[in-house]
């Protein structure tokens, strides 16, 4: 993992094609390390969440190349790597488990939940909170050291939704619970096992979200 971190730090300082091409071997080494880690994490998570069984590495990892077509930032490469384990793979739209590695900004975390859902999925989750807010809140609290990520949330309740004991959750536009981790967390032995162990208490939260997502997908 030290090689992955070192490569990403260098890439953040030399984010242009000529440098990347000259260091393609280092990139491929880092990519292979992440692929091996992803395979191990999938296996470990599937042991407590069977919906993840059968996922491939390519279902859960991302390209290093940025889509710059509609971005003001024209740097060609991402300076982070991530692994997202969810039923159906990263493009399924379902809730799952994520590891984020970004040494240039000292940003390392694990999280669970539903990122950037469609408006139909947001409505489905809000309805779940309206009907069973206590269970939703309990699933978050059961995750203990994880905290709700309020970044990007609405400043007030969305139109048409009434105040109640759990109405603050209506303000969320992504449903993520997050635990920051350290660089030493990533470089210690048995990383995949520790990631899965730490994410295991978040399974009830993901299950609630995936029921909401499945409801929408089944209606389409």
Enumerate residues 6+ apart whose C-beta is below 8 A from 101: 4, 5, 8, 34, 80, 81, 82, 108, 186
- Torsion 21-24-27-31 (CA) sign: positive
Residue whose token pair is 């491939």: 56
Enumerate the domain spans of the chain: 2-219
pLDDT attached to residue 149: 98
Report how far Cα 65 is from the mean position of its chain's Cα atoms. 18
From first CA to last CA, the distance across the chain in angstroms is 42
Residues 6+ apart with CB under 8 A from 92: 86
For residues 174-211, one letter each, b for 16 or more C-beta atoms within 10 angstroms of the residue's C-beta and e for the rest, the string is ebbbbbebeeebbeeeebbebbbebbbbbbbbbebbbe
pLDDT of residue 219: 78
Question: Alpha-carbon torsion 4, 5, 9, 12, what sign?
Answer: positive
pTM of the complete model: 0.96
Please list the pLDDT of the chain residue by residue as tens digits (220 residues): 999 999 999 999 999 999 999 999 999 999 999 999 999 999 999 999 999 999 999 999 999 999 988 888 899 999 999 999 999 999 999 999 999 999 999 999 999 999 999 999 999 999 999 999 999 999 999 999 999 999 999 999 999 999 999 999 999 999 999 999 999 999 999 999 999 999 999 999 999 999 999 999 987 6
Residue given tokens 């809140």 in the structure block: 137
């Amino acid at each position: 993992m030290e090689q992955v971190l070192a490569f990403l730090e260098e890439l953040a300082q030399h984010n242009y094609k000529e440098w990347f091409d000259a260091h393609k071997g280092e990139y491929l080494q880092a990519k292979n390390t992440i692929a091996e880690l992803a395979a191990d994490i999938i296996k470990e998570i599937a042991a407590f969440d069977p919906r993840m069984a059968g996922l491939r590495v390519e279902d859960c990892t991302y390209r290093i190349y940025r889509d710059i077509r509609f971005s003001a930032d024209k740097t060609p490469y991402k300076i982070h790597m991530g692994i997202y384990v969810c039923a159906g793979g990263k493009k399924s739209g379902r809730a799952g488990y994520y590891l984020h590695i970004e040494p240039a900004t000292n940003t390392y975390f694990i999280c669970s939940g539903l990122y950037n859902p469609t408006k139909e999925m947001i409505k489905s989750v809000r309805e779940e909170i309206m009907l069973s807010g206590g269970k939703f809140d309990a699933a978050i609290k059961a995750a203990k050291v994880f905290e709700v990520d309020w970044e990007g949330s609405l400043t007030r309740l969305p139109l048409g939704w009434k105040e109640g004991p759990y109405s603050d959750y209506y303000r969320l536009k992504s449903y993520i619970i997050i635990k920051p981790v350290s660089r030493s967390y990533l470089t210690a032995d048995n990383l995949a096992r520790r990631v899965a162990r730490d994410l295991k208490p978040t399974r009830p939260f993901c299950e609630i979200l995936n029921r909401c997502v499945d409801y929408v997908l089944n209606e389409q």
